[in-house]
Amino acid sequence: MSSATRWEKAADAYATGEHKSGRELQLVVDFAAPMGGERVLDIGTGAGHTALALAPHASSVVLTDPVPAMLATARRVLGEVGVRNAEFVEAVAERLPFQDASFDIVATRLAAHHFDDVALAFREVARVLRPGGVFIFVDTLAPEDSESAAYQDEVERLRDPTHRHIYTQREWIAFAEAAGLRIAKLEVVRKAHDFEPWLERGGEDAATQERVRARFLDAPASAVRDLEIVVADGGVKSFTDRKLVLAARR
């Protein structure tokens, strides 16, 4: 299955699933602290929930995603609640079709682990962000333990082959600083995932989903600890990972 086809299947699930809420989404607004006149960019918008949270507090918001089906879903999600200050642009994070210093706030939430080149994407963020502007970043944190970090990447990629890599807190911060961004504040949020809906959103076939279930049941002790994997009645019920929310200044 191509990545485009996979995301077309996933678009509706992302619109109604756990991405539409959570403490890390509220922190996006709190950390950005928009005053009402800002131009906002949301990179890898998915179903548009991050842009939706910021739109009422900004003059305009531009949503980018490389998948037309995701942009169509985002357009529907924002349209259903009457958002009128949004623009939708098909683009990859590593090649943003915008002028230098053209946004006051740039955000990306739960997308960077799909980026082909995180360092290049962060340099693009710095390029399109005006001096003094703020970058709001949210993504999964790899555990410090190398065994459980490798396991988490393995099951994420098995469940969804468009997954690239998750990084530790130090590594995510290093990407931002190397792009010339200065960390202003950060918070780590624990996020619990009901297992079967999480698995279904990956869009894989039944055989692959069964492999993911088996791998969770056979997880190393370090991963059971770090991901708080809950098993009951012979099946996986949930796991909990950590999301890094940070604000960085240009």
pLDDT tens digits for 191-240? Answer: 999 999 999 988 899 999 999 999 999 999 999 999 999 999 999 999 99
Instruction: Determine the residue type at 31.
Output: F
pLDDT at 117 over 90: yes
- Residue 75 — left, alpha, or beta (φ > 0 → left; ψ -120 to 50 → alpha)? alpha
Alpha helices by DSSP H, listed for the chain, are 3-16, 23-32, 49-54, 68-80, 118-128, 146-159, 169-178, 195-201, 206-217, 221-226
Domains of the chain: 3-144+162-191+242-249 (3.40.50.150)
Return the H-helix or E-strand segment holding 63.
Answer: strand 60-65
Using alpha carbons only, how large is the chain's radius of gyration in Å? Answer: 18
Tell me the mean pLDDT in the region 63-86.
95
Q: What's the pLDDT at 83? A: 95
Q: Which residue has the tokens 């939708």?
A: 88
The one-character DSSP state at 18 is: G
What would the pLDDT profile of 119-133 be if each residue is shown by its tens digit?
999 999 999 999 999
What would the pLDDT profile of 35-63 be if each residue is shown by its tens digit?
999 999 999 999 999 999 999 999 999 99
Task: Return the ∠ at Cα 241 (arms to 240 and 242), rounded to 5°.
Answer: 135
What would the pLDDT profile of 16-26 be if each residue is shown by its tens digit?
544 455 789 99
